[in-house]
Amino acid sequence: MKVDVLLGLQWGDEGKGKIVDVLTPHYNVIARFQGGPNAGHTLKFQDKKHVLHTIPSGIFRENAQNVIGNGVVVDPVVLAKELKALKALGVPFEERMSISRKAHLIIPTHRLLDAASEAAKGKEKIGSTLKGIGPTYMDKTGRNGLRVGDIEFEDFNEKYNKLKEKHLTLLSRYDGFEIENLEDLEIDFFEGLNWIKKIPFIDSEYFLNQHLDINQKILAEGAQGSLLDIDFGSYPFVTSSNTIAAGACTGLGIAPNKIGEVFGIFKAYCTRVGSGPFPTELFDEDGKTIANVGAEFGATTGRPRRCGWLDLPALKYACMLNGVTKLIMMKADVLTFVNHVKVCTHYLVNGIKTDRFPYSIDEAPEPIYKTFKSWDADLTKLTKLEELPIELTEYIDYLEAELKIPIAIVSVGPDRLQTINRLTIEIM
């Protein structure tokens, strides 16, 4: 049995939550492997919208176990809010979810450090969500961090205070930054710990490999997007973790030879939240239309997303890094409302035509476009593959030929039912 991986191929917000929810009936275990509450996975079913930040997107399915892996950083305050919301809905999260002892904790002063650091950057801000993600990963690699498993030990408060004092020393070096309401933040933090204790703590590497040994099917759920990867993304405008498929190995304790299918999710266009390069960004009416129709606002921050045409060099790059075996295209329905559809096929970099994703943001690649007819049809009511308009079919066929990877699923709306299968996905 193999672990299948599902991840985003752009700058995040591709629609991973919906597709995990759609695929979950085929799996026994859904496992988050990186990121933290900077993720915002949106699910819609039965005319209700649910946004998850830490909890895997399989939590609403009765027969799936959900695991928060060791590669995730956990804010007890955010997780507690999610658990309270699940309890109000009658979801038995205690039975459906567990958390790795090796997952690191975000403490209140991590969030303060994030805010102080971002404020100090001035015009060079990277667009942090200010959730304390970066400082937590820094403590993890600096071997100073607090882990979920530490909650089980009597000296937890001592370890917490030691880390807090270190952070307060660092914060004192930021001129003009005022620490406010730390006591209130700590009250919320320790209340959140009480909610975390309701979830079984596990050694997730053993848990997952044991499930593989008994032929249980596992889906690894990524957060953010491949172009935000700490090593291979548009650095320094990236997140603090490995968002590519390799991150599933280190974030769950799964050996590389245990990886099966890699499902890569992308929008029929591109979006980005925060700062950083965006070669195909639109500043015209098409950009405004896509933003409004697609409801392009961050699920975590509420910030408006920057919108642009599909970027093939970036998409090919992400497919290569991840070893994508199946593609899933989201939000095809949004492009119904534009007059034409463009795809960036190459860049001009210093006068040279290339289809390689550039090393440096200073290279300012100029996009070269291919134009397609838009599809003047309401896709949201479609249920069968043969109902797709010919213009959309031609668009999909072109992308498949260029990417050399099959597009298995086309999403035509936010609801789990608004999903059209082009290929039968066999779960091995």
Point out the residues that are catalytic: 13, 41
Half-sphere exposure of residue 321: CA atoms within 13 angstroms, side-chain side: 28
Q: Would you say 135 and 104 are in contact if contact means Cβ atoms under 8 Å apart?
A: no
**Backbone torsions φ then ψ of 358, nearest 5 degrees:** -70, 150
Residue by residue, DSSP assigns 299-335 as TTT-PBPEEE-EEHHHHHHHHHHHT--EEEEE-GGGG
| Nearest-angstrom CA–CA distance, 222 and 211 | 20
Residue whose C-alpha is closest to residue 105's, from 128, 76, 68: 76
Total length of the chain? 428
d(CA 394, CA 103): 45
The pair phi, psi for residue 52, each rounded to 5°, is -110, 140
Report helix, strand or coil for 42: strand
- Give CA separation, 297 vs 267, 343, 414, in Å: 14, 22, 14
- Here the tokens at position 274 are 């925060």
Amino acid symbol at 143: R
Give the list of residues 6+ apart from residue 255 with CB closer than 8 angstroms, or none: 249
DSSP assignment string, 60-99:
TSTT-EEEE-TTBEE-HHHHHHHHHHHHHTT--HHHHEEE
- Beta bridge partners of residue 30, listed in sequence order: 66, 219
**d(Cα 398, Cα 5) in Å, to the nearest integer?**
25
